[in-house]
Amino acid sequence: MNDDHLLADSVDIGLILLDHDGRIRLWNRWIAQRATRAAHEAEGMTLTEAFGNHIDPRLTLVVREAIDFGWTARLSHALHPMPLPLFPPGSDHSQRMMQAIDVTPANDGTRRMCLLQVRDVTEAVHREALLKQQAHQLRNDLQRLSRAQEELQRSEMRFRELARQAPAGLFEADAEARCTFLNERGEQLLGRELAQVAGSPWPNFLPAADQERIHDRWLLAVKSATRFSEEFRYIHPSGRPLWLRAEAGALRDQHGQIRGFIGTIVDITEFHERASRNEFRANHDSLTGQLNRDHFERHLRAAISGAREVTDRIALLFIDLDDFKVINDTHGHQAGDTVLKAVAYRVRRVVRAEDRVARYGGDEFAVLLYEAGDDRSLAAIVAKITHAVALPINLGHCHVRISCSIGLAVYPDDAQDPNGLLNQADQRMYDGKRGRPARASLPPPNA
């Protein structure tokens, strides 16, 4: 098996490479494990010959557009959930796995080809469905609590008993936000008894950054006679940070004037943390913790758009590790993961906090430098990265060294759009691998 096949088999996504006639030239192990045909059997076939007539017609159309016109496309699971008949490894093939497919034109030097990158998004779809279900359940819970509040207002005695048993924190506060009632659950959430909070507006117990905003929102609700509804951070007296949601409706006196609010306090910390984790996983590489390819390219597009407004220079670096496969073959994939994490950490340490670092794929990294300096400064950064990557890496049982090839492209000098900048940096990185300077115009960093 050649190096291309070994590299394709090492990635954790499906890869299918089609030649200019739409015939399969590469079919990696990931695809073979989820299809009904081995890699060596599929080579030379069309997609229809390999998979039968069970392909989403949209896929064959965008493949043809990629080969004929060089157009890229993405088949999102939201619109095209199962373009190919692929099944979870070891399953009974009764249910296709959910997929997201990127269709990208490629070139073998003479004719245009097409690369299909297939990702299994079944778990992500299930997580999204679970999150929606939980959000729906939370809305239902809050609606039930709101209905309970209306009932509580009808009878003081009934209010006290229900308030004591309510699963959410219940509170009553005057127009100045001073608490006049707090049930047991509310005291547990705040870590304070009613006597400790009654003398001051309750927003005073929030972190300083949120106090003025929440207090102003409370006064606005009083003035406009509207419902108060806010989420805010809260530091429990034990030191534990929480996210709470307070909702309250107006209480009126016999003259119809607002005399305060009665409402609920709900702990939504778990919901916020889950949402943050899901957002991080969607935008970051799971191994190195750096940006993933899609999120990095969004930053690149935004950076170029912003640079056009203020005529700034930005720089893009492509970093490829030399002979990374040797480390995997010699020490195992766990050692390879250690090297990738170490390289990502070192690159992140070299650049500024506002710059962006991504694991672009496999053993490739990308760096976006905002407000890039002159060529001398950029050469110094390239030298620092090269030096940092080349330092020994501790694998526990031994130390290894690895070098890297770096390609540099600058906006607007080299290209004025994201694809052009990416192509320039990629090409210069490969030029460097072949022994030619990646950017001949750069002076040495110490010149």
pLDDT > 70? residue 195: yes
pLDDT at res. 446? 42
The residue behind tokens 């496999």 is 362
pLDDT > 80? residue 101: yes
pLDDT at res. 156? 63
Report residue 142 as tokens: 């809050």
pLDDT in tens, 15-53: 999 999 999 999 999 998 898 788 788 889 999 989 888
- Mean pLDDT for 421-443 is 72
- Mean pLDDT for 165-188 is 84
For 104-113, the CB contacts below 8 A with 24+ separation are 104/66, 104/72, 105/66, 105/67, 105/70, 105/71, 105/72, 106/17, 108/19, 111/19, 111/20, 112/20, 112/66, 112/67, 112/68, 112/70, 113/17, 113/18, 113/19, 113/20, 113/25, 113/67
- pTM exceeding 0.75: no
Task: Please give, one letter per residue, the 3-state secondary structure of 97-130.
Answer: CCEEEEEEEEECCCCEEEEEEEEECHHHHHHHHH
Q: What confidence tier does 95 reach under pLDDT thresholds 50, 70, 90?
A: confident
| Helices 269-283 and 293-310, packing angle to 10 deg | 80
Domains of the chain in start order, with CATH, are: 3-119 (3.30.450.20), 126-273 (3.30.450.20), 288-433 (3.30.70.270)
pLDDT in tens, 298-342: 999 999 888 877 767 899 999 999 989 999 999 999 999 999 999
Return the sign of the alpha-carbon dihedral for residues 384, 389, 394, 397: negative
Please give the Cα distance from 47 to 171 (Å, whole number): 63
Residue 236 CB partners (closer than 8 Å, separation 6+): 190, 191, 242
pLDDT in tens, 231-274: 888 999 999 898 999 898 888 888 888 888 888 888 888 888 88
Counting Cβ atoms within 10 Å, is residue 118 exposed (0-12), middle (13-18) or buried (19+)? buried
Counting Cβ atoms within 10 Å, is residue 15 exposed (0-12), middle (13-18) or buried (19+)? buried
pLDDT at res. 80? 80
Decide: 264 and 142 in contact? Cβ < 8 Å.
yes
Report residue 296 as tokens: 């990095």
Residues 124-134 as b/e (b if ≥16 CB within 10 A, e otherwise) read: bbebeeeeeee
The secondary structure element, H or E, covering residue 140 is: helix 122-152
pLDDT at res. 358? 94
Select the more confidently predicted residue: 238 or 3. 238
Decide: 336 and 414 in contact? Cβ < 8 Å.
no
Return the sign of the alpha-carbon dihedral for residues 215, 220, 223, 226: negative
- Mean pLDDT for 51-59 is 88
The secondary structure element, H or E, covering residue 282 is: helix 269-283
Which percentage of the chain shows pLDDT scores above 90?
Answer: 40
- Mean pLDDT for 86-94 is 86
Min mean pLDDT across 156-165, 178-187, 219-228, 349-358 is at 156-165
pLDDT > 60? residue 443: no
Residues 39-72 as b/e (b if ≥16 CB within 10 A, e otherwise) read: beebeebebeebbeeebbeebeebbebbbeeeee
The secondary structure element, H or E, covering residue 14 is: strand 14-18
pLDDT at res. 155? 60
Select the more confidently predicted residue: 190 or 78. 190
Decide: 395 and 338 in contact? Cβ < 8 Å.
yes
Closest CA to 343 of 329, 372, 322, 326: 322
Q: What confidence tier does 438 reach under pLDDT thresholds 50, 70, 90?
A: very low
Select the more confidently predicted residue: 63 or 277. 63
pLDDT > 80? residue 403: yes
pLDDT in tens, 127-147: 888 888 998 898 888 888 777
Plot region of 312 (φ>0 → left; ψ -120 to 50 → alpha; else → beta): beta
Edge to edge, the sheet with strand 228-235 lists 179-182, 169-174, 258-267, 241-252, 228-235
End-to-end CA distance of the chain: 46
Q: What confidence tier does 445 reach under pLDDT thresholds 50, 70, 90?
A: very low
Amino acid found at 440: A
pLDDT > 80? residue 3: no
Return the sign of the alpha-carbon dihedral for residues 367, 372, 376, 381: negative
Plot region of 93 (φ>0 → left; ψ -120 to 50 → alpha; else → beta): left
Q: Which residues is 245 bridged to in the sheet?
A: 231, 266
Q: What confidence tier does 355 reach under pLDDT thresholds 50, 70, 90?
A: very high
Please give the Cα distance from 376 to 178 (Å, whole number): 61
- Mean pLDDT for 367-372 is 90
